[in-house]
Chains A and B, each alone.
Chain A
Amino acid sequence: GENVEQHPSTLSVQEGDSAVIKCTYSDSASNYFPWYKQELGKRPQLIIDIRSNVGEKKDQRIAVTLNKTAKHFSLHITETQPEDSAVYFCAASMGGNMLTFGGGTRLMVKP
């Protein structure tokens, strides 16, 4: 089955700096890669997603890049703010089927 690895497990940045989280996946058939933000005790919140027919997608301060050949994708957050502090999960799926999640990254943005 699919295996998704996520790095780093914790990331501390200064407010205003950029944050980058990286994930690799194992199943070349995976074609949907969402990123979620989860605050303590809350549901995962979709922040951005990308499909395999696109190499990059951007939404304001958030961008995701996908390298199908290398089977890795990354989340980029620019101009970080304290409210960006949370746990971020990457995930992979094939055609909207079951999601396989990465291990999560705890992002701390210091004011």
Chain B
Amino acid sequence: GAVVSQHPSRVICKSGTSVKIECRSLDFQATTMFWYRQFPKQSLMLMATSNEGSKATYEQGVEKDKFLINHASLTLSTLTVTSAHPEDSSFYICSARSPSTPYEQYFGPGTRLTVT
């Protein structure tokens, strides 16, 4: 149980375009989802916390107008990178928390974004 999927797994886009990444909890309802970014050979850095039906909470230094997060249902959160630039190229990973195991976070497989 507790499976989280992400789509797409890889995406290449041109500078200035927008990209949407989906994160789904497949077998549980996730009231809270988290979005992380991981640059090569670095740690995971939290970008934002997403609660179903409310606005996301962004970490300091993360532009909320650039990284749009929507958590419209208990099984789906989306991250849209708007006006992408090469410096946005990174590994984006979501995680979800199940009410039945409130401490543990279940990670998606990640999305490799390359902006050319």
- Give the interface of A toward B (CB within 8 A): 32, 34, 41-46, 49, 51, 89, 93, 95-104
B114 interface residue (CB < 8 Å to A): no
Q: Is the CB–CB distance between B103 and A51 below 8 Å?
A: yes
Name A43's contact: one of B42, B43, B97, B109 (CB within 8 Å).
Answer: B109
Q: A44-B44, A89-B43, A103-B43 are in contact. Are A98 and B49 (CB under 8 A)?
A: yes
- Give the interface of B toward A (CB within 8 A): 34, 42-46, 49, 91, 93, 95, 97, 102-105, 107-110, 112
Q: Is the CB–CB distance between A99 and B43 below 8 Å?
A: no
Q: Is the CB–CB distance between B102 and A34 below 8 Å?
A: no
Which residue, of B43, B95, B107, B110, has the highest number of chain A Cβ atoms within 10 A?
B43
The chain A residue sitting closest to B110, CB to CB, is A43
Q: Is the CB–CB distance between A42 and B43 below 8 Å?
A: no
Please report whether the interface of chain B is mostly helix, strand, loop or mixed according to DSSP: strand
Tell me the minimal C-beta distance from B23 to chain A in angstroms: 11
Tell me the minimal C-beta distance from B95 to chain A in angstroms: 8
Residues in A neighbouring B105, C-beta threshold 8 A? 34, 96, 99
Q: A95-B103, A96-B104, A99-B34 are in contact. Are A41 and B110 (CB under 8 A)?
A: yes
CA distance A10 to B97 in the complex (A): 30
Q: A42-B109, A44-B44 are in contact. Are A49 and B93 (CB under 8 A)?
A: no
The chain B residue sitting closest to A43, CB to CB, is B107
Tell me the minimal C-beta distance from A33 to chain B in angstroms: 10
Residues in A neighbouring B42, C-beta threshold 8 A? 103-104
Question: Can you list 8 A-B contacts (CB < 8 A)?
Answer: A43-B108, A44-B107, A95-B102, A96-B102, A96-B104, A101-B43, A101-B45, A103-B42
Tell me the minimal C-beta distance from A28 to chain B in angstroms: 17
CA distance A97 to B112 in the complex (A): 25
Q: Is the CB–CB distance between A49 and B109 below 8 Å?
A: no
Known pairs A98-B34, A101-B43; list 14 more (Cβ under 8 Å): A32-B103, A41-B110, A43-B110, A46-B104, A89-B43, A89-B44, A96-B97, A97-B49, A99-B34, A99-B46, A100-B46, A101-B44, A104-B42, A104-B43
